[in-house]
Structure 1
Amino acid sequence: MAPRRNDEEFRLTPELLLKAYAAGIFPMAEDAEDDSIYWVDPILRGILPLDAFHVPRSLVKTIRRQPYEIRVDTAFSAVLDGCAEPAPGREHTWINQQIRSLYLSLHEMGYAHCVEAWDGDQLVGGLYGVSLGGAFFGESMFSRRTDASKIPLVYLWDRLRRGGYTLLDTQFITGHLSRFGAIEISRETYRQRLEAALAEPATFYPADAGSLDSLLQSLSHTS
């Protein structure tokens, strides 16, 4: 199904956006200056299997050195703005003002979360996404320093695994995500996995997640 533009007078609500995620579709804009929103329903969907997550050894060594402080949900709007910045291969952002406002509302409602990388008082990378049941829909990530988006992704994986999630949706596949084990599945298979994940109880704040020790313990079980 091709992306569809919503009616120009139609304004999305956070509640409708959650229903869209539950149905397997997500919104995008052409660029920051375009007020219109497209619904996207890929034929092939990218996911990161939580039970087959791969972390390169070089990155594990970097994580052990703790180059950044990893925080959760302390600067959601700043992470959104970081994800909207131009980057190599991405001169235009799909995050327009309406989308930004919607995700801020979802965060305030407890449905959208971020994982952040800090160097002192500087936010240098991070990612954000939407949580529904046992499904986490990864939306975007950014990096201003080496590995400053990769390390939050590894911490996200550990948090989701410990929190009872069964689906980490990446929407599309990139070379960056492929290195962590991301795969493509058909729309039909995705919807089956999504339906099952939505029925699962999960928490984004498991008591045993967030520390370097918990992360290294999880990594040792996957090696």
Structure 2
Amino acid sequence: MIPWLPAGSDFPPPEHALDDPNGLLAAGNDLSAATLVRAYRLGIFPWYEAGQPILWWSPNPRCVFRPGDFHISRRLLRHLRGADLSFHLDDDFAGTLDACAAPREPGGGTWITTAMRTAYLRLHALGHAHCLTVRQDGELAGGIYGVQLGGVFFGESMFSTRTNGSKSALAMLWALAPRLGIRLLDAQVENPHLMRLGAYLMPRADFQRELDRLIVETSPRPWPKGPFRWQEG
């Protein structure tokens, strides 16, 4: 059993999360900005579907990237070098949320509920949540959004409307990581796509230590707007 948390409650220690389903820690609480910042600082994130209570997760192990880990295939590199791409930071956070929330297949659902959308728009207004989008030939091709606390970017979701859209966005996020102060990217849960891009699995205890090391304070960090073009080195 997992605990039910009244609104505004403290979270139980992440190591109390279930093994099956992996990482399920608690239910309830709320999606206020203060609660979300407190959760991410502990390596906890919300993930649930419409009709469910808010569910909080801390999987073990954690899927992460470090700067330099991102693997750019020859095909992706040709795309980054040759396509007419421009990259934009925080230019359309609401649009990025909506693109990520769009069903991946006809009749499919989404975990970005109305309440989640409102919560992350609030985080963005406060300067904690950010997005990076890529345009190809002037048209939206892909993007990513997440939450940054200190030197950690907690990636929430990506989308593609054209081939290599999300890969290009992630590649540019890592190219800009030094400028943005990002030293670790949390991808939450592994999948074959992320692992092919260079992600690796970190035990929860090690991930918690990295959060303690990289998040000295949680003040919002503004991002430059761009646009940016792909540059190597």
Give TM-score scaled by structure 1 length. Answer: 0.85
**8 Å contact from structure 1 (residues 28, 38) kept in 2:** yes
Higher deviation after alignment, 166-175 or 80-89? 80-89
Q: Matched residues in 1 for 2:191 and 2:106: separation?
A: 12
**What does residue 36 of structure 2 align with?**
17
Q: Contact 1:162/1:206 (CA < 8 Å) preserved in 2? A: no
**Do residues 151 (structure 1) and 168 (structure 2) align?**
yes
CA offset at residue 164 of structure 1?
Answer: 2.8
Q: Deviations over 1:116-165 (max 9, x none)?
A: 12245542311101000111000000111101111010111111133332
Q: Which residue of 2 aligns with 1:179?
A: 196
Determine the C-alpha separation between the residues in 1 that align with 2:191 and 2:177: 21
Kindly indicate whether residue 79 of structure 2 is the aligned counterpart of residue 58 of structure 1. Answer: no
Cα distance change of structure 1 residues 50 and 64 upon mapping to structure 2, 3 Å threshold: same
Could you tell me which runs of 5 or more consecutive residues in structure 2 were left unpaired when the two chains were aligned: 1-16, 19-23
Paired with 1:117 and 1:109, the residues of 2 have a C-alpha distance of 23
Q: What does residue range 100-115 of structure 1 map to in structure 2 within 5 Å? A: 100-115=117-132
More helix as a share of residues: 1
Pairwise CA distance, 1:203: 5.2
Partners of 1:203 and 1:100 lie apart in 2 by 21
Contact map agreement 1:5 1:36 (CA 8 A) in 2: no
Q: Work out the CA distance in 1 between the residues paired with 2:201 and 2:106.
A: 21
Moved more, 63-72 or 75-84: 63-72
TM-score computed with the length of structure 2 as normaliser: 0.82
Q: Which moved more, 1:118-127 or 1:161-170?
A: 118-127
Comparing 15-24 with 53-62, greater Cα deviation is found at 53-62
Q: Is the Cα contact below 8 Å between 1:129 and 1:138 reproduced in 2? A: yes
Matches within 5 A, 1:15-94: 15-30=34-49, 33-34=50-51, 36-88=53-105, 91-94=108-111
State the 1:204 CA deviation.
Answer: 5.7
Matches of 1:90 and 1:175, distance apart in 2: 24
Please say which of residues 190-199 and 118-127 is displaced more in the overlay.
118-127
Structure 1, unaligned runs of 5 or more: 218-223
Match of 1:220 in 2: none
Q: Counterpart in 1 of 2:212?
A: 195
Whole-angstrom distance in 1 between the partners of 2:183 and 2:63: 14
Decide whether the 8 Å contact of 1:35 with 1:98 is kept in 2. Answer: no
Offset from partner CA, 1:180-210 (integer Å, 9 cap, x none):
2100111101101111110289956379x86
Does structure 2 conserve the Cα–Cα contact (< 8 Å) formed by 1:83 and 1:140? yes
The verdict on how the C-alpha distance between 1:122 and 1:53 changes in structure 2, with shifts beyond 3 A counting, is closer
- Kept in 2, the 8 Å contact 1:35–1:97? The answer is no
Q: Which secondary structure state, in structure 2, belongs to the residue aligned with residue 124 of structure 1?
A: strand
